[in-house]
Structure 1
Amino acid sequence: MQTPVQKAIQHRSTANESKIQLLKQMMKNNMRSYGMVIALVLIMLLFQILTGGILLRPLNITNLILQNSYILVLAIGMMLVIITGHIDLSVGSVAAFVGALAGILMVQHHVPMFVTVLISLLLGALIGAWQGFWVAYVKIPAFIVTLAGMLLFRGFTMIILEGQSIAPFPKSFQNISSGFLPDLFHGQNLHIFTLVIGLIASILFIGSEIRKRNNQKQYGFTISPAAVFGAKLIVIVAIIMAFSYVLATYEGIPTILIILAMLIIAYSFVANKTVIGRHIYAIGGNEKAAQLSGIKTKRVTFWVFVNMGVLAALSGLIFAARLNAATPKAGNLFELDAIAACFIGGASAYGGVGTISGAIIGGLVMGVINNGMSLLGLGIDWQQAIKGLVLLVAVAFDIYNKNKAA
């Protein structure tokens, strides 16, 4: 017969074991997402050491954001395309074509910036609709349709530019990619407004996580222990505030970072909280089953490509604004960087799996590797080879996990 003390000790031991099992299960379920975050941190620390502390300097952090913004925009749209089980090889050429058109309208014909941006995004939607029609309704494989689109729109870009670059763009347009938010508090050596935004973002994040946890508890879902949950909040808030401080010591928050944040929030909401988001995942998981369950698979696929066209157009505008020129070679290999970002960030080669945050993490991994190797003076040949190896390892890891779970 056990004494009350022995029962209490056994009860506590059982509770601790169940907590450990819960943590193990959570880590197993989220291995890919956690693994890529850890990999990103380790890669940043590695290049921070190898570059003698240059990588994480405020100027270089800002450059990382500006240099990779157009790839991250493409990765958001590409993730939805990949989740549906398709691929889009044309996005780089579409970005170049839209940037060329923007240059002709703004520089040569002096069309107002707002009107030009509107026309460019509409053109991107029309291009996406053109390709989506062939994929969704004619059932031509997306690989073939978008390969044709890659060649077609690259050719159109060279035709309308006649092999020449068009520059410079108006300053207001350049600010899309290279501008910064003004400091409303007029700080001297520190951008106070950036710190305020970081604090607001931290508060909103904490509120969102607490609300999500309470909802999970209310519906009887398994939740992480309070200590783990608290530690997660502390770590992420510390990262947000540290990032805000680094930006505040330079010029503050780049305009493009606000655009990216809005896209990430909006598309994460659509993917996770809306009917269309669930339909996209269902089509990628099993298109036949989705169709039999009443999902209009053709329509959803069509609009996924329309969305990709709009984001490709936005990416082209951002790149043209950063380069301050429309060039025939713009957008070269953008599609491969965006696809790599998605697969590194957790998308499955079989469709039906992936997150918007994963695409962003994958894009940052590629961006940090590019930036770090450039700081070390490695040539483009080695950069391409290493990026190829990283992509192969990421997809192999995904297939290994899928086979292990089967």
Structure 2
Amino acid sequence: MRAELSKGQTGWSLGRLFKGNIRQYGMFIALLLIMLLFQILTDGILLKPINITNLILQNSYILILAIGMLLVIITGHIDLSVGSVAAFVGAMSAIMIVEWQMHFVPAMLLSLLMGALIGAWQGFWVAYVRIPSFIVTLAGMLLFRGLTLIVLEGQSISGYPRAFQKMSAGFIPDIPGDYGFHMVTLLAGVAVSLILIFFEWKGRMTQQRYGFDVLPLPLFIGKLAILLVIINLFTYVLASYAGIPNILVMLFLLIVIYTFFMRKTIMGRHIYALGGNEKAAALSGVKTKKMTFWVFVNMGVLAALAGLVFAARLGAATPKAGVNFELDAIAACFIGGASATGGVGTVIGAIVGGLVMGVMNNGMSLVGLGIDWQQGIKGLVLLLAVAFDLYNKNKTA
């Protein structure tokens, strides 16, 4: 009898776990299936260490933009200007670093400040003047694309110092010696695994202490085992090539910081409340205008950071930089489970959505599909993701 009860509880918990997190789990499964599909279609090229590293480097700036765009979408807004802002800030960084011979560290800080001011400019019109974000950021897209062409005079500027370029193209140094693998990367995988085990177990104990429902121990161990296998397999693949890219460390820190911010802070809760129902949030004491303003400031800073990362990877500032970045960032958020009506979405989901887009782009290129087919397939995936979101919302209503 006890065994039957335990089995029934396990099945019920597993079903409830999946239904409660269907957006994120669905995207994780979709990502794994897409990777498996292209691994087969490319005869094993997709998951080779060098290609995995290239995937990280190629999609780093889109993932940075997706984190900022997620907050904007959660509040019920949109930002169409991020690609143009990234291009403009990249152009200004080239002028400061290459033409004015400014050291790249203060130039980067000034570039981030410039992004914050641009975000404040757009946030003011959206939050306080109440002009729809679509219109404000569409105007910003045109404005900053034009300014990029003006400051660059239609030409590319190259000659960034090697130290600046390492931000996007460099790797974490290894322990001296010939080991056959990048040892620091393998040790990092073990360290992250131990930290994950500690926090997962601590969280489980806290939930039990306060009487919350938790996963049955077998399911908890199974979930943790899968995560540990993925982490260590990933670090093993990176260690087989050149190790951990510098940009991956930056992305990891951004993911941790923004996940903590959205889950554990009052401002994060207010952002969700604002997107869920602005009037109810205002009546509950949320300063909705101020919150919207700072979300756009944050988006401006991350757009500037993405512009710096792209310029560092390319080794130059170009007039065509940032084209369609906004579309990829928006698609990453929606594919990752953000709701088109606001109030729903997670940082991890946006990252997974960005990886889905990146793997599809990379896989289709390796297979030999033309850009026309790639754009069409990406459009269908985005449409299906939003339709899936609306279906789930109507089903649970």
State TM-score, norm by structure 1. 0.97
C-alpha separation between the residues in 1 aligned to 2:140 and 2:344? 26
The structure having more radius of gyration, on CA atoms, is 1
State whether structure 2 residue 320 is matched by structure 1 residue 321. no
1:365 aligns with 2:356: yes
Partner of 1:5: none
Q: Are residues 1:32 and 2:23 paired?
A: yes
2: distance between equivalents of 1:236 and 1:110? 46
Distance 2:337 2:114 in 1: 30
Does the 8 A contact of 1:185 with 1:193 survive in 2? no
| One of 124, 132, 135 as aligned partner of 2:123 | 132
Which residue, out of 6, 10, 15, partners 2:6? 15
Q: Distance in 2 between matches of 1:137 and 1:221?
A: 41
Q: CA–CA distance in 2 between the matches of 1:18 and 1:265?
A: 33
Which residue matches 1:246? 237
Q: Which runs of 5+ in 1 are unaligned?
A: 1-8
Q: Is the 8 A contact 1:186 1:192 kept in 2?
A: no
Amino acid in the other structure paired with 1:206: I
CA contact (8 A) 1:84 1:280 kept: yes
Moved more, 187-196 or 392-401: 187-196
1:262 aligns with 2:253: yes
**1:24 positional shift:** 1.2
Superimposed CA distance per residue, residues 64-113 of structure 1 (whole angstroms, 9 cap, x where no aligned partner): 00000000000000000000000000000000000000111111111000
* Counterpart position of 2:365: 374
C-alpha separation in 2, matches of 1:243 and 1:375: 21
Note the 1:40-59 alignment, pairs <5 A: 40-59=31-50
Whether 2:206 is the aligned partner of 1:215: answer yes
1:76 is aligned, of 59, 67, 75, to: 67
Aligned AA (1:242): L
- Equivalent-residue separation in structure 2 for 1:184 and 1:373 (angstroms): 37
Spell out the pairing of 1:289-308 with structure 2 (5 A cutoff). 289-308=280-299
- Matched residues, number: 397
Structure 2 Cα separation of the partners of residues 62 and 14 of structure 1: 47
CA distance in 1, matches of 2:177, 2:145: 45
Q: TM-score, with normalisation over the residues of structure 2?
A: 0.99
Cα distance in 2 for partners of 1:28, 1:405 equals 10
Task: Give the residue type in structure 1 aligned to 2:350.
Answer: A
Choose which of 267, 274, 288 in structure 2 pairs with 1:283: 274
**Rounded Cα–Cα distance in structure 1 between residues aligned with 2:265 and 2:85:** 28
Q: Distance in 2 between matches of 1:238 and 1:400?
A: 33
Please say if residues 66 and 330 of structure 2, whose CA atoms lie closer than 8 Å, have aligned partners that are also in contact: yes
Q: CA deviation at 1:188?
A: 3.6
Q: Distance in 1 between matches of 2:378 and 2:328?
A: 9
2:89 paired residue among 95, 98, 109: 98
* Cα separation, 2, equivalents of 1:82 and 1:202: 32
Of 307, 331, 337, the match for 1:340: 331
Task: Provide structure 2 residue ranges, at least 5 long, that are not aligned to the other structure.
Answer: none
